[in-house]
Structure 1
Amino acid sequence: MKRVFLAAADTISAGLGFVAKAMVLILIASMLYEVVARYALGAPTLWAFDIAYMATGVLFVLGAAQALREDAHVRIDFLSSRLPMRLRGLIDGLLYLLVLCPVFGKLAWVAGHRAWRAFQTGEVEAVSPWAPLMWPFYSAIMIGLAALALQLAAEGIRALASPRQDDTFKLEN
Structure 2
Amino acid sequence: MPIIRLIDAINEIVGRIVSVAAIVFAGIIIYDVTMRYFLGQPTRWSFDVTKQLYGFYFIMLGGYALRHQAHVRVDLLTARMGHTMRRWTEILGYLIFFFPFAWIFARRSWDFAMTSWNQGEVTYGAVQLPVYPLKMAMFAAAVLLLIQGISEVLKLLLDKTDHLENLEPMDVR
TM range (shorter): 0.7 to 0.9
The separation in 2 between residues aligned to 1:72 and 1:111, in whole angstroms, is 23
- Give the % identical residues: 25
Which residues of 2 match residues 136-155 of structure 1 at below 5 A?
A: 136-155=133-152
Which residues of 2 match residues 40-119 of structure 1 at below 5 A?
A: 40-119=38-117
55-64 or 147-156, which deviates more: 55-64
Are 1:135 and 2:138 counterparts?
no
The separation in 2 between residues aligned to 1:171 and 1:90, in whole angstroms, is 17
**Contact 2:11–2:67 (CA<8 Å) still a contact in 1?**
yes
- How many residues are paired up? 170
The separation in 2 between residues aligned to 1:27 and 1:169, in whole angstroms, is 41
- Normalised by the length of structure 2, the TM-score is 0.87
Give a deviation string over 1:22-60, Cα, whole Å, max 9, x none. 111111111011111111221111222222222222112
4+ runs of 1 displaced by more than 6 Å?
Answer: 169-173
**Contact 1:54–1:137 (CA<8 Å) still a contact in 2?**
yes
1:166: Cα distance to partner? 3.8
The equivalent of 2:154 in structure 1 is: 157
- Normalised by the length of structure 1, the TM-score is 0.87
The separation in 2 between residues aligned to 1:35 and 1:114, in whole angstroms, is 33
106-115 or 143-152, which deviates more: 106-115
1:124: Cα distance to partner? 0.7
The separation in 1 between residues aligned to 2:154 and 2:100, in whole angstroms, is 14
Q: Which runs of 5+ in 2 are unaligned?
A: none
1:169: Cα distance to partner? 8.4
Q: Which runs of 5+ in 1 are unaligned?
A: none
What secondary structure is seen at the aligned counterpart in 2 of 1:43? coil
The separation in 2 between residues aligned to 1:52 and 1:21, in whole angstroms, is 14
24-33 or 163-172, which deviates more: 163-172
What secondary structure is seen at the aligned counterpart in 1 of 2:128? coil
1:171: Cα distance to partner? 8.4
The separation in 2 between residues aligned to 1:14 and 1:81, in whole angstroms, is 28
159-168 or 40-49, which deviates more: 159-168
Q: CA RMSD in A?
A: 2.1
